[in-house]
């Protein structure tokens, strides 16, 4: 009864933060809050039906910002389909001044879906955190339940603010974090009819760490969770290690990464991984926590007007690296995402068939729930990478190589000389490349490229090139023009614009620096 009353008020959508409160008058127990937490504070797990349906995946754009994907150049007319998703990502894929810019430059798509969803989830967490303090249950079981839901709500609020800050704020730079703008902080459960302004990167990170400290204490006291889709103390330690890595607090990043390794050391030996199982599955021994959808099979289908893993990224894998075949499906010059399980029961296409990828990875999961997210997923493999990177920055090269080689031992064919012996800058570069090989299309690359730019140890600034093809018509396979977009190392496009709908609803809110995006054009 209580959960149903709460749900009615959560599902409405209003302007930015103003109408995201809900009535909690009917909350009687921690079980009521637990229902609210499950149904309205965790991201839902399903796959989009098409790339164009952003309501299915409000974080769909994350993979298109970095250097992992480019437009598929396949010219096989047998693969033609009416594919309406390409234009949807145009503004993100080409780093436009407004992310919603359409590809004809005649208008804008909605661009605040991610922002709106994140703040709705944050406000659910705010209400849970507030409501816990008002519960009158005092027996031992109720006390344990209260710290469970409070700990999870603090963890989720921290995670969502971390995600938002790294999209709409600059990468954390210790020298400028106290003045760089991130996103507005709202921790009150009340409806606040006012114009919100942006807090600094430092203020947002301070809230994140404060929330994670509370979550750590409470979820450690609660103990293990029965499901990997619910956060526990290991997930908290994992997120702490990632947050500290981004903050360039190497000592704390290494400390919490080691905590995770101690608590969840298991790695999947890829020699024993069935191709159909995929590294991202609910039974994976590496899985620590996951929530949210996985729409990657919608993006890379080996169809024209879809996308492919770039040759640059594919070229990072050596032939004896098992990830080259077990994380990626290749057909000619097309490289597709292959980290999720193949659940098709009537698959007749052979892996060499150009349409194999569509029927193996996209078709059977369209509209369905998925096991593991392509963006909100914690795996033990990343803990080893965080440990290696942080130790290398501190000059602890033996510890860095040990963590790195522990992972690599599970990723190469038997008899391969996988051990890294590099030192100095070469070791750091090797670790960064290893992150890309291991975490390809798991929502990490754009954030990594941003933080490398301001890293106090071996700063790295990249140039990214994306190609965007125009066609005779939506249903045509004949290309008419190619526009090439380049994101320069010091471009304003490394930070997303605040959605125009948010600026309109909050008088005086400052946008990120914008300019005019140029391109080169080639007639075809």
Instruction: Summarize pLDDT for 111-151 with one digit per residue, the tens.
Output: 999 999 999 999 999 999 999 999 987 889 999 999 999 99
End-to-end CA distance of the chain: 62
Integer Cα distance of 134 and 122 in angstroms: 19
Residue matched to tokens 């993006």? 299
pLDDT at 300: 85
Long-range CB pairs of 351-358, under 8 A, 24+ apart, other chains included: 354/74, 354/76, 354/78, 354/79, 354/302, 355/78, 355/79, 355/302, 356/302, 356/329, 356/331, 357/300, 357/301, 357/302, 357/329, 357/331, 358/301, 358/302, 358/303
pLDDT at 371: 84
In sequence order, what are the beta bridge partners of 71? 307
Integer Cα distance of 280 and 341 in angstroms: 7
Name residues whose C-beta falls within 8 Å of residue 124's C-beta, 6 or more positions apart in sequence: 10, 22, 36, 37, 40, 41, 153
Integer Cα distance of 436 and 523 in angstroms: 34
pLDDT at 357: 86
Confidence band for 296, pLDDT divided at 50, 70 and 90: confident
Which residue would you say has higher pLDDT here, 292 or 302?
292
Integer Cα distance of 265 and 285 in angstroms: 9
- How much is the average pLDDT of 281-306? 89
Integer Cα distance of 159 and 122 in angstroms: 9
Integer Cα distance of 311 and 325 in angstroms: 14
For residue 285, pLDDT over 50 is answered with yes
Indicate the CATH number of 2-40+112-223 among 1.25.40.390, 1.10.760.10, 3.40.50.970, 3.30.420.40: 1.25.40.390
pLDDT at 344: 84
Q: For strands 334-337 and 328-331, give the pairing.
A: antiparallel
Integer Cα distance of 330 and 324 in angstroms: 9
Name residues whose C-beta falls within 8 Å of residue 64's C-beta, 6 or more positions apart in sequence: 89, 92, 93, 307
């Amino acid at each position: 009864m209580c959960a149903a009353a709460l749900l009615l008020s959560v599902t409405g959508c209003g302007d930015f933060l103003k109408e995201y409160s809900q009535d909690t008058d009917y909350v009687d127990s921690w079980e009521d809050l637990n229902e609210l937490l499950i149904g309205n504070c965790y991201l839902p797990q399903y796959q989009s039906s098409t790339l164009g349906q952003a309501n299915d995946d409000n974080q769909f754009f994350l993979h298109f910002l970095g250097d992992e994907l480019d437009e598929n150049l396949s010219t096989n007319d047998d693969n033609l389909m009416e594919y309406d998703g390409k234009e949807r990502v145009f503004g993100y894929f080409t780093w436009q001044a407004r992310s919603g810019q359409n590809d004809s430059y005649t208008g804008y798509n909605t661009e605040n879906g991610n922002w709106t969803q994140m703040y709705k989830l944050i406000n659910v967490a705010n209400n849970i955190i507030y409501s816990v303090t008002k519960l009158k249950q005092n027996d031992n079981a109720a006390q344990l339940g209260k710290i469970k839901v409070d700990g999870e709500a603090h963890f989720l609020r921290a995670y969502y603010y971390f995600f938002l800050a790294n999209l709409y704020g600059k990468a954390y730079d210790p020298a400028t974090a106290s003045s760089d703008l991130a996103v507005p902080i709202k921790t009150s459960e009340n409806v606040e009819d006012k114009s919100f302004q942006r807090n600094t990167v430092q203020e947002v990170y301070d809230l994140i760490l404060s929330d994670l400290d509370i979550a750590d204490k409470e979820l450690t006291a609660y103990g293990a969770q029965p499901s990997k889709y619910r956060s526990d103390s290991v997930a908290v330690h994992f997120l702490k290690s990632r947050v500290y890595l981004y903050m360039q607090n190497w000592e704390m990043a290494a400390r919490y990464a080691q905590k995770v390794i101690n608590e969840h050391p298991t790695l999947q030996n890829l020699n024993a991984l069935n191709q159909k199982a995929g590294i991202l599955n609910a039974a994976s021994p590496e899985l620590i926590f996951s929530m949210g959808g996985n729409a990657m099979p919608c993006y890379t289908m080996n169809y024209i007007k879809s996308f492919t893993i770039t040759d640059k990224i594919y070229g990072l894998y050596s032939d004896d690296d098992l990830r080259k075949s077990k994380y990626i499906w290749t057909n000619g010059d097309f490289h597709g995402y292959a980290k999720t399980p193949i659940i098709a029961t009537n698959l007749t296409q052979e892996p060499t068939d150009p349409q194999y990828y569509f029927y193996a990875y996209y078709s059977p999961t369209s509209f369905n729930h998925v096991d593991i997210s392509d963006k909100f997923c914690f795996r033990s493999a990343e803990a080893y990478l965080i440990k290696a990177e942080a130790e290398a920055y501190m000059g602890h090269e033996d510890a860095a190589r040990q963590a790195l080689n522990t992972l690599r031992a599970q990723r190469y064919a038997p008899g391969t000389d996988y051990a890294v012996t590099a030192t100095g800058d070469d070791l750091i570069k090797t670790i960064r490349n290893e992150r890309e090989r291991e975490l390809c299309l798991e929502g990490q690359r754009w954030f990594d490229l941003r933080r490398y730019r301001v890293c106090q140890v071996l700063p790295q600034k990249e140039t990214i090139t994306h190609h965007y093809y125009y066609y005779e018509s939506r249903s045509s396979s004949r290309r008419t023009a190619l526009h090439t977009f380049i994101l320069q190392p010091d471009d304003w496009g490394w930070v997303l614009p605040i959605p125009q709908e948010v600026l309109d609803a909050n008088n005086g809110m400052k946008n990120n620096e914008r300019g005019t995006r140029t391109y080169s054009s080639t007639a075809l």
